[in-house]
């Protein structure tokens, strides 16, 4: 079975990120992912901007609508992708549920900046029998799944201790890494704000914080996006170091080993093992994980309930003095 997919929002993640990139090498947008993946049919797009609609129709030869209700009525999609700005997520989910009953909604992260609205989104989708997923892309990629496997198998020893650099807001961008670490390290069991930081874009806080997960403690530090983008995770364990750099595009493992020169000392090996990240085609991997979920196979895509838990944990940190 192939699932008809409607994309609501044809901006960067909806369509724009990979417009001018080689489709054989890069899949960064929903439009490209759902047009290429064999389990899906790209049914159409929705956007208020006529230029975006024209580009979508020219590129993908599928209809683009200015009105969501009309698109839902004409297409009756199996999957609705919500890629509009975060403040519009809740209202868009409600319009989709009022006009149709897709098998699943894939919503950009975070679900909402408002915790009560996010809870309503999760509850209303569950009440209608519509599966809700959040587009935390990193946990669907092959590299992150491999790190999770190694942690579960004890190949990367726990507990861990580490540092996360994020920017562009704790909720907007930091939630990518918070959600990934919940996936890797388990439930949050404690947190402490080190510095309150500033507001990104006038509304999204950027605190420095220490967060304790079941498998170890991490320090979140806010970088300055206007200077340069810097998204990294470094995990130190008893048997080595994991480096998750350039937003996850580069992943490497250095095992601990005896110092070749000084007896009785342990150092990190000079040989660093690369782990293929899969992030050059990250949105394709999300589509693959969604197909697995729809077909009853094992999947790693972030559910709406898991995304809500991420938001609840982060909100508690933001409310700390």
Question: For residue 264, what is the domain's CATH number?
Answer: 3.30.360.10
What's the predicted TM-score (pTM) here? 0.95
In-domain check, residue 214: yes
Owning domain of residue 258: 142-277
CB 156 within 8 A of CB 240: yes
pLDDT tens, residue by residue, 190-245 = 999 999 999 998 889 999 999 999 999 999 999 999 999 999 999 999 999 999 99
Please check whether residues 124 and 89 belong to one and the same domain.
yes
Could you tell me how far CA 229 lies from the centroid of its own chain? 17
In-domain check, residue 79: yes
Please report, for residues 120, 136, 210, the alpha-carbon distance to residue 166 in angstroms, rounded to integers and kept in the order given: 28, 15, 13
Please report, for residues 10, 40, 41, 292, 297, the alpha-carbon distance to residue 1 in angstroms, rounded to integers and kept in the order given: 25, 8, 10, 12, 14
Please check whether residues 167 and 263 belong to one and the same domain.
yes
Please check whether residues 296 and 231 belong to one and the same domain.
no
Task: DSSP letter for 4, please.
Answer: E
Please check whether residues 271 and 291 belong to one and the same domain.
no
Label residues 209-228 b or e (16+ Cβ within 10 Å = b).
bebbbebbbbbbbbbebeee
Please state the domain count of the chain: 2
CATH of the domain at 291: 3.40.50.720
Q: What does each of the 321 residues of the chain score in pLDDT, given as a tens digit?
A: 899 999 999 999 999 999 999 999 999 999 999 999 999 999 999 999 999 999 999 999 999 999 999 999 999 999 999 999 999 999 999 999 999 999 999 999 999 999 999 999 999 999 999 999 999 999 999 999 999 999 999 999 999 999 999 999 999 999 999 999 999 999 999 999 999 999 998 889 999 999 999 999 999 999 999 999 999 999 999 999 999 999 999 999 999 999 989 998 999 999 999 999 999 999 999 999 999 999 999 999 999 999 999 999 999 999 996
Please check whether residues 178 and 117 belong to one and the same domain.
no
Q: How far apart are the first and last CA of the chain?
A: 51
Cis geometry, peptide bond prior to residue 159 (ω within 30 degrees of 0): yes
Residue 293: how many other CB atoms lie within 10 Å: 18
In-domain check, residue 93: yes
In which residue are the tokens 């990104």 written? 200
- Token pair for 282: 């990250």
In-domain check, residue 315: no
| Closest-CA residue to 123 (of 93, 92, 102, 100) | 93
In-domain check, residue 320: no
In-domain check, residue 316: no
Please check whether residues 62 and 85 belong to one and the same domain.
yes
Q: How many CA atoms lie within 13 A of 96 on its CB side?
A: 34
In-domain check, residue 199: yes
In-domain check, residue 319: no
Please check whether residues 63 and 106 belong to one and the same domain.
yes
Residue 12: how many other CB atoms lie within 10 Å: 13
């Amino acid at each position: 079975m192939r699932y008809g997919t409607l994309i609501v929002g044809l901006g960067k993640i909806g369509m724009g990120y990979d417009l001018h990139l080689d489709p054989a090498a890069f899949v960064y947008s929903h439009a490209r992912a759902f047009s290429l993946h064999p389990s899906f049919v790209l049914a159409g797009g929705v956007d208020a901007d006529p230029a975006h609609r024209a580009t979508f129709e020219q590129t993908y030869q599928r209809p683009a609508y200015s009105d969501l209700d009309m698109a839902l009525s004409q297409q009756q999609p199996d999957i609705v992708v919500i890629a509009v700005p975060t403040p519009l997520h809740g209202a868009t989910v409600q319009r989709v549920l009022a006009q149709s009953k897709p098998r699943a909604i894939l919503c950009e992260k975070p679900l909402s900046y408002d915790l009560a609205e996010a809870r309503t989104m999760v509850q209303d989708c569950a009440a209608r029998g519509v599966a809700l997923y959040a587009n935390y892309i990193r946990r669907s990629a092959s590299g992150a799944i491999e790190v999770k496997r190694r942690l579960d198998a004890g190949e990367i020893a726990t507990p861990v201790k580490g540092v996360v650099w994020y920017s562009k807001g704790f909720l907007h961008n930091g939630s990518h890494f918070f959600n990934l670490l919940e996936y890797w390290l388990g439930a949050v069991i404690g947190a402490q704000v080190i510095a309150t930081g500033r507001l990104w874009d006038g509304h999204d806080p950027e605190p420095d914080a220490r967060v304790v997960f079941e498998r170890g403690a991490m320090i979140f530090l806010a970088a300055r996006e206007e200077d340069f983008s810097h998204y990294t995770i470094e995990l130190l364990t008893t048997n080595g170091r994991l480096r998750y750099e350039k937003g996850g595009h580069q992943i490497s493992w250095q095992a601990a080993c005896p110092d070749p020169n000084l007896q009785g000392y342990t150092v990190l090996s000079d040989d660093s093992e690369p782990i293929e990240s899969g992030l050059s085609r990250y949105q394709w991997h999300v589509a693959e994980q969604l197909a697995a979920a729809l077909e009853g196979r094992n999947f790693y895509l972030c559910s709406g309930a898991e995304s809500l838990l991420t938001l609840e944990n982060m909100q508690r940190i933001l409310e700390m003095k």
